[in-house]
A and B are shown apart, each in its own frame.
Chain A
Amino acid sequence: MTTPVRTRRSVVLTETVNGLTPVLMLFSIFLTLRGHNAPGGGFAGGLVMGSAVVLRYLAAGPRGVRSLRIDPIVLIGTGLFVAVVVGLTSLVVDGSFLESAIWKFHVAILGDVKIVSSSLFDIGVHILVVGVVMAVIVALAEADDEMRGRR
Chain B
Amino acid sequence: MPGRRSARWALPVAAIAPAVTFGWLVSQAGAVLDGDTAAVDVEWIPQLALSISLRLDGFGLLMGLLVSGIGVLVLLYSTAYFGRRDDLGRLAGLLVAFAGAMLGIVWADGLLTLFVFWELTSITSFLLIGFDDTNAAARAAATRAFLVTGAGGLAMLAGLIILTIVGDTTTISGLLADPPSGTLTDVALVLVLLGAFTKSAQFPFHFWLPGAMAAPTPVSAYLHSATMVKAGLVVVARFAPAFATEGPWRVLVVGAGLASLIVGGIGAMRQQDAKLALAQGTVSQLGFLMVLLGLGTPATTYAGVAMLLAHALFKASLFLSVGVIDHEAGTRDMRRLRGLARALPVVAASVVVAAASMAAIPPTIGFVAKEKAIDGLLENEVGGIGTVALVGIVLGSVLTVAYTIRITVGLLGNDAPGVEVDGTVDADHGPVDPSSVHRPSFGLVGAPALLALLSLVFGLGAGTVGDWLAEVTASLDPETSSKHLVLWPGFNEALLVSAGIVAAGVTLWWFTRAATRTLDARRSQATITYDRIYDGLLEGARRITAATQSGSLPLYLAVVLSTVAVSLFVALAAGATDAISSPRFSNSPIEFVAVVVTGLLAIAIVFARNRFGAAVLLGGSGYALAIVYLIQGAPDLAITQFLVETLTIVVFLLVLARLPSDFAPAPAWAPRIVRIGIATAVGVAVAVFALSASGSRTEPSVGEDYVALSEPEAGGRNVVNVILVDFRGFDTMGEITVLAIAGAGVVNLVRAARRQQRRKNLDDGTADEHEQDADPSRRVGVWR
* Chain A residues engaging chain B, CB cutoff 8 angstroms: 1-3, 31, 35-44, 47-48, 50-51, 54, 58, 65-66, 68-73, 76-77, 79-80, 83-84, 87, 97-100, 102, 114, 116, 118-119, 121-122, 124-125, 128-129, 131-136, 138-143, 145-150
Contact = CB atoms under 8 A, between A and B. Distances in A.
Contacts of B658: 2-3, 143, 147
Interface in B714-747: 714-718, 720-722, 724-726, 729-730, 732-733, 736-737, 739-740, 742-744, 746-747
Contacts of A51: 643, 646-647, 650
B740 to A, nearest CB: 5
A125 B736 contact: yes
B319 to A, nearest CB: 44
15 contacts: A36-B716, A39-B636, A40-B636, A44-B639, A66-B780, A69-B780, A69-B782, A70-B782, A80-B736, A100-B715, A100-B716, A102-B714, A116-B714, A132-B739, A135-B750
Given A36-B715, A51-B647, A149 B635 contact: no
Interface string B647-672: 10011001101111100000000000
Nearest to B768: A149
Nearest to B638: A39
A16 B659 CA distance: 28
B422 interface: no
Contacts of A134: 782
B781 A122 contact: no
Given A39-B720, A116-B716, 4 more contacts: A1-B660, A39-B635, A97-B730, A145-B773
A142 B753 contact: yes
Given A118-B714, A132-B739, A136-B746, A66 B783 contact: yes
Given A73-B747, A99-B726, A148-B769, A50 B647 contact: yes
A95 B761 CA distance: 56
Contacts of A116: 714-716
B753 A132 contact: no
B769 A76 contact: no
Given A72-B782, A80-B737, A140-B655, A132 B726 contact: no
Contacts of A122: 721, 725
Contacts of B549: none
A72 B714 CA distance: 31
Determine which residue in B722, B742, B753 has the highest number of CB atoms from chain A within 10 A of its CB, and name it: B722
Nearest to A99: B726
Contacts of B750: 135, 138-139, 142
Contact of A100 (B657, B713, B733): B713
A87 B640 contact: no
Lowest 7 A-B CB distances belong to which pairs?
A149-B770, A98-B729, A69-B781, A132-B743, A39-B635, A47-B643, A36-B716
B721 A35 contact: yes
Given A44-B636, A116-B715, A148 B770 contact: yes
Interface string B755-784: 001000100000011110100000111111
B694 to A, nearest CB: 23
Contacts of A141: 782
A98 B730 contact: yes
Given A73-B744, A128-B739, A139-B749, A133 B647 contact: yes
B754 interface: yes
The secondary-structure label for the interface of chain A is: helix
Nearest to B653: A58
A116 B726 CA distance: 10
Contacts of B757: 146, 149
B715 A66 contact: no
Contact of B740 (A54, A79, A142, A150): A79
Contacts of B651: 54, 136, 140
Interface residues of B, number: 59
B644 interface: yes
B731 to A, nearest CB: 10
A105 B730 CA distance: 28
Contacts of A40: 636, 639, 718, 721
B784 A97 contact: no
Contact of A36 (B722, B742, B773): B722
Nearest to A3: B657
Determine which residue in A44, A77, A102, A129 has the highest number of CB atoms from chain B within 10 A of its CB, and name it: A44
A32 to B, nearest CB: 10
B746 A139 contact: yes
A44 B782 contact: no
A43 B744 CA distance: 18
Contacts of A36: 715-718, 721-722, 725
A66 B143 CA distance: 42
Given A69-B780, A140-B651, A87 B729 contact: yes
Contacts of A69: 780-782
B716 A37 contact: yes
Contacts of B736: 79-80, 83, 124-125, 128-129
B739 A71 contact: no
A8 to B, nearest CB: 15
Interface string B1-34: 0000000000000000000000000000000000
Contacts of A71: 781-782, 784
Contacts of B753: 142, 146
Nearest to B745: A135
A31 B743 CA distance: 23
B491 to A, nearest CB: 68
Contact of B715 (A42, A70, A72, A102): A102
Determine which residue in B658, B660, B761 has the highest number of CB atoms from chain A within 10 A of its CB, and name it: B658
Contacts of B726: 98-100, 118
Contacts of B650: 51, 54, 58
Nearest to B656: A3
A41 B636 CA distance: 8
A58 B746 CA distance: 20
A50 B646 CA distance: 11
Interface in B667-726: 713-718, 720-722, 724-726
A68 B714 contact: no
A97 B647 contact: no
B725 A118 contact: yes
B714 A70 contact: no
Determine which residue in B640, B644, B725, B779 has the highest number of CB atoms from chain A within 10 A of its CB, and name it: B725
Nearest to B728: A98
Contacts of B744: 73, 76, 135
B634 to A, nearest CB: 9
Given A41-B636, A80-B737, A125 B732 contact: yes
Given A39-B635, A102-B715, A135 B657 contact: no
A139 B746 CA distance: 7
B743 A135 contact: yes
Contact of A37 (B717, B742, B749, B782): B717
Contact of A131 (B635, B722, B743, B769): B743
B179 to A, nearest CB: 39
Contacts of A102: 714-715
B742 to A, nearest CB: 7
Contacts of B654: 140
B782 A138 contact: yes
A114 B711 CA distance: 12
A118 B729 contact: yes
Contacts of A35: 718, 721
A100 B716 CA distance: 10
B105 to A, nearest CB: 30
A47 B730 contact: no
Nearest to B729: A98
Determine which residue in A98, A141, A148 has the highest number of CB atoms from chain B within 10 A of its CB, and name it: A98
Contacts of B730: 97-98
Contacts of B644: 47
A58 B647 CA distance: 12
B221 to A, nearest CB: 41
A87 B733 CA distance: 9
A121 B729 contact: yes
